[in-house]
Chains A and B, each alone.
Chain A
Amino acid sequence: SYMLTQPPSVSVAPGQTAKITCGGNNIGSKSVHWYRQKSGQAPVLVVYDDSDRPSGIPERFSGSNSGNTATLTISRVEAGDEADYYCQVWHTSSDGVFGGGTKLTVL
């Protein structure tokens, strides 16, 4: 089965840039979606198809995907960005696959 690997945690100071990676075998050939989940809430889509943003998501959220790594970048991090972030792809078996999640801490 296909696996996605995320760092368990990332810490960043307010105003700085956070980068959250998602590793997978040849993930660059797949479309990667990213979700933010704040404590006690349902997930929210923040980036889809590697680098597109749904309406209502700030331009501070961006994504890239190449080779074996996809990256979610959050610029000018704010306290309100503190959450768990999950990457997701569709495997060739048609199964959905999520990464293990990364807890973003704003120092």
Chain B
Amino acid sequence: QVQLVQSGADVKKPGASVKISCKASGFTFSNYNMHWVRQAPGQGLEWMGIIDRSGTSTHYAQNLQDRVTITRDTSTNTVLLDLSSLRVEDTAIYYCARDLKLVRGPLDLWGQGTLVTVSS
């Protein structure tokens, strides 16, 4: 079954870091660029960043680039999101998503989402 399965919900204090995993199955993981998108409660979608198929190139949204790191592990078909120096406003559902194309394209497969709550 073609799917992306993400790690479970997490609660963090301001200033801490969070790491979210996204495990791919049912397709050749190394053939696809992967993205992270987040959604604050009651808000719209916000693109966070992309990692290429090889894992050697990343690009992050300007407002997050000092705090976000995306990596991938081809041995476990997993993409990881690391967000540091957490703030209350980072409370959101975080989604991983697969890029349909070799260069930036539509996101055709999404994980189920991971709720991260940042609260003191």
Chain A interface residues toward B at CB < 8 A: 1, 31, 33, 35, 37, 42-45, 48-49, 54, 86, 88, 90, 93-101
Contacts and interface: CB of A to CB of B under 8 A. Distances in A.
Contacts of B59: 94-95
A95 B35 contact: no
Nearest to B60: A95
B108 A96 contact: no
A96 B106 contact: no
A98 B46 contact: yes
Interface size class of B (residues with CB under 8 A): 20 to 34
Contacts, number: 61
Contacts of B111: 42
By DSSP majority rule, is chain B's interface helix, strand, loop, or mixed?
strand
Contacts of A31: 105
Given A42-B113, A43-B95, A45-B108, A95 B44 contact: no
A101 B40 CA distance: 13
Given A95-B62, A96-B35, A48 B44 contact: no
Contacts of A99: 44
B104 A90 contact: yes
A48 B62 contact: no
B105 A48 contact: yes
Interface centre among B37, B50, B106 (most CB of A within 10 A): B106
Nearest to A89: B104
